[in-house]
Amino acid sequence: MSQRFVLAAVAAAAVMGLSACSTSAPTRVEPTYDEAANNAFIASNKAAIDKLLAGVSRENVGQSAVLVATVVNVNDLSRAAPLGRTLSEQYASHLVANGLHVKELKLRGDVFVKEGTGELLLSREIKDIAKSHNASVVLVGTYSTAASVTYVSLKMVRTEDGRILNGHDYALPNDRDVQRLLQVPR
């Protein structure tokens, strides 16, 4: 074999080898999982409801409706940041996923709803509102912001007598999302 032929064969092999290596960026493959299910914020809120429900007898709730009040700032119970409204929405969704009958308060006109705040169930009104919605239990909650976390306290309260059926406290890290949700629109 001639030297020329060997060099040509080596060169051809090198070109073929290089063409098999792509320099373009790989195509992004869409994840096959639900990203929301893997979100730490949502997971923390679902876990909080699971722990809250673990200590509540289903007989105490019965077949009647559960109302979910807007989670409010412990320092100003008449106001809620988007965080409080978001928490309440997620709690309601997870209560339904756990088989509870949750009434959507935003569809009703007889609940105190303050624009930019959400559904606030004032203690003097809970009995009347619960009765009109055939609700035996109300989920209420507060949040309090500290330096690195926001503390959330939840309570399942029996509307008949105000007895707390169970409570659960947890903390959310004050990451960028939580900080943004804590901003009250003016």
8-46 pLDDT, tens digit per residue, is: 554 454 444 444 444 444 455 554 455 555 699 999 999
Q: Which of 135, 129, 127 is CA-nearest to residue 65?
A: 135
For residue 157, is it within any domain?
yes
Q: Is 160 part of a structural domain of the chain? A: yes
Residue-wise pLDDT for 80-120, tens only, equals 789 999 999 999 999 999 999 998 876 444 444 444 444 44
Asked whether residue 158 is assigned to any structural domain, the reply reads yes
Q: Is the pTM of this model over 0.85?
A: no
Q: What is the pLDDT of residue 79?
A: 73
**DSSP secondary structure letters along 71-95:** PEETTBTT---HHHHHHHHHHHHHH
Q: Is residue 105 in some structural domain?
A: yes
Q: Is the pLDDT of residue 148 over 90?
A: yes
Nearest one of 147, 141, 130 to 86, comparing CA atoms: 141
Domain assignment of residue 28, yes or no: no
In a domain, 3, yes or no: no
- With bands split at pLDDT 50, 70 and 90, how would you rate the model's confidence at 59? confident
In terms of pLDDT, which residue wins out, 64 or 130? 64
Q: Does residue 161 lie in a domain region?
A: yes
What is the extent of the structural domain holding 113? Answer: 40-181
In a domain, 94, yes or no: yes
The residue count for the chain: 186
CATH number at residue 101: 3.40.50.10610
User: Does 30 or 164 have the greater pLDDT score?
Assistant: 164
How many domains would you assign to the chain? 1
